[in-house]
């Protein structure tokens, strides 16, 4: 059994639920299950779409686990829900197009605070709509651990909270083992029949047809920096103070991926036809771990992808901004996702990939 995993931080914790999936599968007669994990913490499903699009060999896997329900709550505000629909369906469609016989498991996890339950329900409804659109033709399923946990505990919030380590992560001694065993039972199910017919997308602007601009390859005038850890090797364009990079894109920008470091400078994004956006490219968690980097993406989530007039070629200019000059761009600052101005002597920002939607 060969399993591919793409998700958020719950899928990279050690020893996390995947370790318990592995152990449970072996106890049930699967001698040597193998896992390839493309998960990245603190990101939404657009980073999953990017990693799957750039991954070679999807058709070699029997099953794929997609785990973004916890992280995708940031994408279901009223002005962002269309972006989530286009992104998640785009991820599903790319997987099914490349590997039509693969079994797809959409894992629904929930956050600990009771106040987030309505948001999780919106994700749940959206997932059921997308999965329902494809499940008559492909082996695509929902594994709703959040509902299973709450039902088994009669929705008693205090008992539910005991299964969590914090607001978004399951406890490694209680929650993760339970999740692993529950998911393993679903993975043991035999394949469902699939057909070769290819349905139209549920969302007219589904991002499976989105294209990538790999900046280290497209921008030869800039120095390239390579980031490595035990799981990833990522290249990025390194921008210096006062430098700007202009890219001519065949369609509107969907998201930008970059590498956050302890000292990364802010980034100004100016896209034709859109208001300027100022982003911080350092992360709060790096203050205590300055030797590390974090893979991040930023979604231009408020765009209305179904509006034809917003498509077409445009130039996008990226500029490195000194922290001392941020005040001058205050009206354009997007201050969220635990991103911060950074510390120490400024370097970067480090830009990796652009995802854009070309004309159909």
Give residue-wise pLDDT tens across range 2-25: 999 999 999 999 999 999 999 999
What is the distance between the alpha carbons of residues 88 and 107, in angstroms, rounded to a whole number? 13
Q: Token pair for residue 360?
A: 């159909």
Q: For the residues 163-173, what does the mean pLDDT come to?
A: 97
What is the pTM (predicted TM-score) of this model?
0.95
The predicted model gives 184-204 an average pLDDT of: 90
Task: Give the per-residue pLDDT at 192.
Answer: 86
* Pairing status of strand 277-279 against strand 211-214: unpaired
Radius of gyration in angstroms for the set of CA atoms belonging to the chain, rounded to a whole number: 21
Q: Which residue has the tokens 């480090």?
A: 350
Q: What is the DSSP string of 36-96?
A: EE---TT--HHHHHHHHHT-S-GGG-SEEEEE-TTGGGGG-STTTHHHHHHHHHHHHHHHH
What is the pLDDT confidence band of residue 308, given thresholds at 50, 70 and 90?
low
Rounded to whole angstroms, how far apart are CA atoms 303 and 282? Answer: 24
- pLDDT tens readout for residues 228-260: 988 899 999 999 988 999 999 999 999 999 999
Tell me the per-residue pLDDT of 86-121, one tens digit each, with 9 for 90 and over: 999 999 999 999 999 999 999 999 999 999 999 999
Q: What is the pLDDT of residues 20-46, one digit of tens each?
A: 999 999 999 999 999 999 999 989 999
> What are the backbone angles phi and psi of residue 171, rounded to the nearest 5°?
-65, 135
Question: Using CA atoms, how far apart are residues 319 and 295, in angstroms rounded to an integer?
Answer: 19
Closest CA to 94 of 138, 43, 141, 37: 138
């Amino acid at each position: 059994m060969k399993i591919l995993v793409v998700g958020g931080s719950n899928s990279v914790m050690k020893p996390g639920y995947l370790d318990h999936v592995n152990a449970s599968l072996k106890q049930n007669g699967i001698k040597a299950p193998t896992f390839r994990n493309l998960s990245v913490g603190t990101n939404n499903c657009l980073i999953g779409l990017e990693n799957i699009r750039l991954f070679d060999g999807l058709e070699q896997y029997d099953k794929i686990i997609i785990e973004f329900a916890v992280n995708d709550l940031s994408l279901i505000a009223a002005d962002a829900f269309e972006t989530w629909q286009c992104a998640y369906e785009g991820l599903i469609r790319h997987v099914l197009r490349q590997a039509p016989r693969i079994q797809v498991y959409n894992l629904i996890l929930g956050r600990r605070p009771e106040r987030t339950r309505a948001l999780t329900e919106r994700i749940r409804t959206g997932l059921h709509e997308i999965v329902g659109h494809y499940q008559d033709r492909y082996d695509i399923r929902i594994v709703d651990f959040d509902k299973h946990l709450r039902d088994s505990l009669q929705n008693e919030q205090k008992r539910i909270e005991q299964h969590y380590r914090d607001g978004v992560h399951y406890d490694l001694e209680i929650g993760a083992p339970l999740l692993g065993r529950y998911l393993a039972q679903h993975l043991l199910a035999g394949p469902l029949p699939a057909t070769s017919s290819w349905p139209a997308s549920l969302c007219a602007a589904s991002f499976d047809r989105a294209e990538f601009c790999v900046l280290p390859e497209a921008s030869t005038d800039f120095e390239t920096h390579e980031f490595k850890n035990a799981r990833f090797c990522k290249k990025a364009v390194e921008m210096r103070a006062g430098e700007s990079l202009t890219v001519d894109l065949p369609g509107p920008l969907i998201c930008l991926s970059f590498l956050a470091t302890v000292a990364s400078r802010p980034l100004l994004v100016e896209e034709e036809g859109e208001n300027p956006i100022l982003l911080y490219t350092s992360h709060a968690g790096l203050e205590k771990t300055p030797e590390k980097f974090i893979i991040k993406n930023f979604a231009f989530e408020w765009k209305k992808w179904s509006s034809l007039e917003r498509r077409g070629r445009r130039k996008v200019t990226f500029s490195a901004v000194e922290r001392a000059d941020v005040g001058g761009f205050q009206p354009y600052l997007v201050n969220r996702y635990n991103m911060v101005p950074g510390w120490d002597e400024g370097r970067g920002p480090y830009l990796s990939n652009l995802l854009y939607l070309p004309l159909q």
